[in-house]
Amino acid sequence: MKKIFALALAAAMSLSLAACGGNNNTPAASSTPAAGSTPAASTPAAPSAGELITVGVINNDPNESGYRTANDAAMRATFTEENGYKTTFYNNNDAAQQIATAQQMVQDEVDFLLLSPASTTGWDTVLKDAQAAGTQVILFDRMLEADESMYVAAVVSDMPAEGKTAVDWLAAQGLDEYNIIHIQGHMGSDAQLGRTGALDEKVAAEANWNYVTQQTADWDEATARTITQSVIDSGKPFNVIYAENNGMARGAAAALDAAGITHGKDGDVIVMGFDSDKWAFEEVLAGRWNYMGLCNPLQAETVDSIIKDLAAGKEPAQKIIYTPEQGFDCNTLTQADVDTYGT
Amino acid sequence: MTTPVKNPETQVKRPDESLFKRLTRQQLFIPVAALILLVLFNLIADPSFFAISVKENSLGNPVLSGNIISVLDNASELVILAIGMTLVTASSGGQDISVGATMAIAGSVILRMVCGNEVSANTMHMPLILAVLIGILVSMVFGAFNGTLVAYFKIQPMVATLIMFTAGRSIAAWINNNQLPIMNDITFKYAGTFLPGIPIPTPVFITALVILIFWLVLKFTTLGLYTQSVGINANSSRLNGLDPKLIKLLTYVILGVCVAIAGFIRVSRSGSINYSRIAENIEMDAILAVALGGNALSGGKFNIYGSILGAYVIQFLTTTLYKYDVPSTALPAYKAVVVILLVVLSAPVVREKLASMKKAPAKAAKEVS
Amino acid sequence: MQEGAVLEMRGICKYFPGVRALQDVDFTLREGEIHALMGENGAGKSTLIKVLTGVYPKDGGEVRIRGVEGAAVIRSPQDAQNAGISTVYQEITLCPNLSVAENMYIGRTKGAVTNWRQMNQGAGRILSSLGIPASPTQQLGTCSIAVQQMVAIARAVDMECKVLILDEPTSSLDEQEVVKLFGLMRDLKAKGVGIIFVTHFLEQVYEVCDRITVLRDGQLVGEYVIEDLPRVQLVSKMLGKELDDMADIKGESGGAAISQDGAPVLEATELCSNAGIKPFDFSIRKGEVNGFTGLLGSGRSECVRAIFGADHVTGGAVKMDGREVRIKKPLDAMKQGIGYLPEDRKGDGIVGDLSVRENIILAYQVMKGFFRPISRAQAEAFADNYIELLEIKTASADTPIKSLSGGNQQKCILARWLLTDPKYLILDEPTRGIDIGTKIEIQKLVLKLAEKGKSITFISSEIDEMLRTCSRLIVMRDRKAVGELTGEDLTQSKIMATIAGGDEQ
């Protein structure tokens, strides 16, 4: 029995490896190790031993959302051999797995450990070990709870600011009454907390701002559609859909379409989404949605330049670097913006 | 329903056999009772729950709208999965936990076929029916993979399907080169939304068609008898000329077909896919539907209509909870309560207790009258 | 309580849905006696035992046990065990995936810590004292059924019980093992243990028992001292009728009248399978009844399994009606008109949760094929026909077969194969563990079928039965066919001699 189980697991792993290996975006130099396995090539201790800088990248599952797909693809496109890196990538949404793999990478003495932590806690040991081993840690996309001295830099999205920008935009629309369907992301995630926080504050503060419903759809489009449909079925009036990512906004819009409720530029309901998907930009450009809060997934270049600076002995100017972000309105969005920011 | 008793003297009817007890012994008792409970709750709490109105959708078609329509519509994928899951459970005494992941694969294949290599396609690159057939075929192959592990390598179903459960979503992403393709052609979405001029959501029709097909299959083939026989006693079945391995494999392939149809409905609702979120945790609901339908998860005898009813009950519960603004993160907790009740109620010990508890009041009532 | 009694049951009642299993049954067991509990299948023997051991709650009456004040409360097998009642069931109720020693001590170790060494040593001592060929650390499932049964007895014996219940313990034991068991029973009797012995073997009852209690249709017929009750009377009390039937069948001298001429229906040469039997030759003619005989494990079942394709055939050739056929799996055999009633009724025969009707039509349905289901109406007609023909006692054709008594289950399996209208029918131990009445019915049926031109191979552990029905016997020893007896050689002593085979060479 045990043997069979082990066999099954091994088969599962090799299958998932095969699946990852087929990824066209993966540069030839990179490899995707399963937890615990170590490519022998990443052992050299210091950058001086060879030309290449060794880097370990811990990221979330690229299939999680369009945002993550873009984020992961950019990392993989940047940290290539041609660019002077010997990189090991690891993708998992499970923080425990991430931590175990990070530990392994530190033991393998990578020069830089790039982290997008799935949870904000539990990283203390890894960070300490990294410091002791001389591995420099750079956070990207997501923060974690640790003293600033434990990492050299953080290139992240300012989620509370994103929420604030969006809520300010909504307030500027000057509606008499705001009856909001609020569709939240995965509860407790950085993005959810930031985007929910600003709206919660405003709804609590203003008498004419109300929640018709506030539900999490766990970033899932189908769940968002169900939630919206349920509100429509109940006959409660609403005029705003505040969805914390684009996929969920699309699900909600689909429910509106099915019920013949107009939305967007000249519609009855304001539709708001977040992230950077190109198709979502096109929805806004076409006037079917009203607003999209850009959350820039492309931190790879910034991280790349920080590493290059550090290698040249230059400390980064700031510890925490926020990626440039803004909100886009259907009335002002241009095709140029779509081409620049769409992913 | 039953044939007349042959040997009357050995048939002593117990005098205090109450109606309640005979009811509780019916297999469909649990799902029907659950459904009645939910309906009653909604009738009392807010009868407008059952209101159905005609609206015009964004394409200008008149469509029916209301909670009942939502239940019927949203339960579609689950109902179709529950049918396949029932057969797999019956034949192999275990469940396929990879249906959500393989739905992602089937959906991914179908999108890949219609989108060609475009990330955002405005026209279909292939006749839809052909794309769906390819999706079904691929899904059958994965079903056969699971079935082979279970039937021929004798791996426990949960463990065997753990492989696809783990790898399925990665495979789905790989099929589309990690892109998230979008199909903008409105005809692609007909299957997940409305057909022009028809006011009832298309998934309701697809589900009805699938149920009809299974009704016909169970009526005009011996699939039901064979599956149950193999699930109850594989040795006896073999000595009666059946091939238990082949029949187990067959049920997994059939589940593969169900998975592909469910996956197709799901991707055509939006014309897109999110590999790690699509149909997440649906396998648990499908298994719950089978159990709710009064079927033993250890296999053997089954009632496919029980599972179908079970699936609708689950969706009815979900929709009810949404209506009363129960946070969707709390939904699993409510389902857990249902599972606990179900498991406890179906335990033989409790059933006996219930029956004997009901005996006493019945007697007392007689005395009074 | 009565003088000398260790156990008294008074006015015991038990109902099942639609069935009155026990009504007002009294039973008394005295110290140091072996007490046979007799009755046809469905008479209530097993139910009485299960009530006594707390498997079923009783619906009426009381139980008194020596050493327990007032009416004993037995709600679970654990209670029964604590009251000094140990049971060995007909169907093995141990855990096949545990070791022999674990099975002997399961549920009896005190405290959380198990002393494995001590347990294994203790188990080893008991096993060797009883001469049971099993090692304490061996996994129980790897032992033969007979040995498993003996381990169950060893477990019960070791519990130092006042009352030992043996429910059909001998049905899977061979002669030497039975002798050994009887020795053991006498030892225990001498120590003052009261033994309740449930069996279908009349000879065994008269060999070891002191008293007999007879049940019929859930009611007490009476309690008798063994000397006062001749066999014929015992049987008549069990059946509730006079013994003409028995006399009838005994009067016939098997199927000797059947001619030995004519072409064989089935002819196998050098047939062997992966079940470890030596290649054997076999043939059977139209209307012939023959049989395989031999001790347990001699390979008689493996031979017929090879013919039916139930085991993987590794060599040899089979001809049906003179034409060579390939039988690789049961379906091939069925298509050639062969039917097979397997030895292990529960494991290989019935499909427990399915109804009587579905069980009866199963083989015929499989032969018709996947796309040609038998209609509900037709299936009901088939089932009703056979329920009537074979007098199967069942609440209805929709009743799950597992709730029927053993004999009636066996009749359903017979019905299943009769429905396929086979040319050749193999019956492997069709009478094991079922009551005398049904046994005789089955024997008569076999002869009647042979008269109608069917060929039948009949296997039974009871040589009497074989002599009554078969006109030719193939004797097996050590997985090899060692002799074939016909005509005047068909006597008990000749068969025994051939089985034993001592002075052949």
pLDDT in tens, C12-32: 998 887 677 899 999 999 988
Indicate yes or no: CB of A233 within 8 angstroms of CB of B63: no
Q: How confident is the model at residue C364 (pLDDT cuts 50, 70, 90)?
A: very high
**How far is residue B229 from each of residues B21, B196, B233, measured CA to CA in Å?**
28, 45, 6
What would the pLDDT profile of C461-495 be if each residue is shown by its tens digit?
777 788 888 989 998 877 888 888 888 888 777 87
The minimum CA-CA distance between C392 and chain B, rounded to whole Å, is: 9
Indicate yes or no: CB of B6 within 8 angstroms of CB of C358: no
Is any Cβ of chain B less than 8 angstroms from the Cβ of A28? no
d(CA C332, CA B251): 24
The radius of gyration of chain B's CA atoms, rounded to the nearest angstrom, is 23
The pTM of the full predicted model, rounded to 2 decimals, is: 0.76
Q: Which amino acid is at C465?
A: E
Which of C334, C366, C367 is the mutation pick for testing B, counting most B CBs within 10 A? C366
**How far is residue A75 from each of residues A80, A206, B209, C45, measured CA to CA in Å?**
9, 42, 47, 77
Q: Judge whether residue C153 has pLDDT over 70.
A: yes
CB B222 within 8 A of CB B91: no
Q: Which of A68-72, B218-222, C437-441 has the highest mean pLDDT?
A: B218-222
Diameter of chain C measured on Cα atoms? 74
d(CA C147, CA C176): 12
B-to-C residue pairs, Cβ atoms closer than 8 angstroms: 114
Indicate yes or no: CB of B159 within 8 angstroms of CB of A227: no
User: H or E segment at B48?
Assistant: none
- Which domains are delineated in chain A? 9-157+297-312 (3.40.50.2300), 159-295+328-341 (3.40.50.2300)
Closest to C382 in 3D by CA, of C349, C360, C351: C360
CB atoms within 10 A of CB C465: 22
Cβ contacts (< 8 Å) between A66 and chain B: which residues? 180, 274
Q: Indicate left, alpha or beta for B177 from its phi (over 0: left) and psi (-120 to 50: alpha).
A: left
Q: Judge whether residue B7 has pLDDT over 60.
A: no
The chain B residue lying nearest A18, using CA atoms, is: B171
Q: How confident is the model at residue A218 (pLDDT cuts 50, 70, 90)?
A: confident
Where along chain B do its domains lie? 67-280+296-302
Segment B220-248 mean pLDDT: 95
Let me know if chains B and A touch, i.e. at least 3 Cβ pairs under 8 angstroms: yes
Contacts of B279 (CB under 8 A, 6+ apart): A222, B77, B99, B100, B103, B104, B262, B263, B266
Three-state SS string over B131-150 comes to HHHHHHHHHHHHHHHHHHHH
A-to-B residue pairs, Cβ atoms closer than 8 angstroms: 163
The chain C residue lying nearest B12, using CA atoms, is: C18
Q: Judge whether residue A34 has pLDDT over 50.
A: no
Cβ contacts (< 8 Å) between C372 and chain B: which residues? 222
Indicate yes or no: CB of B232 within 8 angstroms of CB of C352: yes
Indicate yes or no: CB of A62 within 8 angstroms of CB of B322: no
Q: What is the pLDDT of residue B357?
A: 65
Q: What is the pLDDT of residue C171?
A: 67
Task: Indicate the pairing of strand A53-59 with strand A112-115.
Answer: parallel
The minimum CA-CA distance between C372 and chain B, rounded to whole Å, is: 6
DSSP per position, A148-197:
GGG-SEEEE--HHHHHHHHHHHHHHT--S-EEEEEEE-STTSHHHHHHHH
Is any Cβ of chain B less than 8 angstroms from the Cβ of A77? no
Where do runs of H (alpha helix) occur along B46-121?
67-74, 76-92, 99-115
What would the pLDDT profile of A107-133 be if each residue is shown by its tens digit?
988 999 999 988 888 888 899 999 999
- Over chain C, what is the mean pLDDT? 84
Q: What is the pLDDT of residue B334?
A: 85
d(CA A121, CA A123): 6
- Exposure string (b/e) for A136-164, b if CB count within 10 Å is 16 or more? bbbbbbbbbebeeebbbbbbbbbbbebbb
What would the pLDDT profile of A35-76 be if each residue is shown by its tens digit?
344 444 333 334 444 578 999 999 988 877 778 888 998 999
Which of B2, B6, B14, B236 is the mutation pick for testing C, counting most C CBs within 10 A? B236
The chain A residue lying nearest B168, using CA atoms, is: A16
Closest to C281 in 3D by CA, of C330, C309, C317, C321: C317
Place of tokens 């006062």: C228
Q: What is the pLDDT of residue B15?
A: 41
Q: Judge whether residue C161 has pLDDT over 80.
A: no
Cβ contacts (< 8 Å) between C373 and chain B: which residues? 219-222, 225
Indicate yes or no: CB of C371 within 8 angstroms of CB of B220: yes
User: H or E segment at C147?
Assistant: helix C145-158
d(CA A117, CA A113): 12
Dihedral of alpha carbons C328, C332, C337, C339, sign: positive
d(CA C16, CA B369): 28
d(CA C235, CA A147): 92
d(CA B353, CA B26): 16
Residue C460 tokens read as 């039974």
DSSP per position, C54-110:
TSS--SEEEEEETTS-SS----SHHHHHHTTEEEE-SS--S-TTSBHHHHHHTTT--
Is any Cβ of chain B less than 8 angstroms from the Cβ of A256? yes
d(CA B189, CA B337): 36
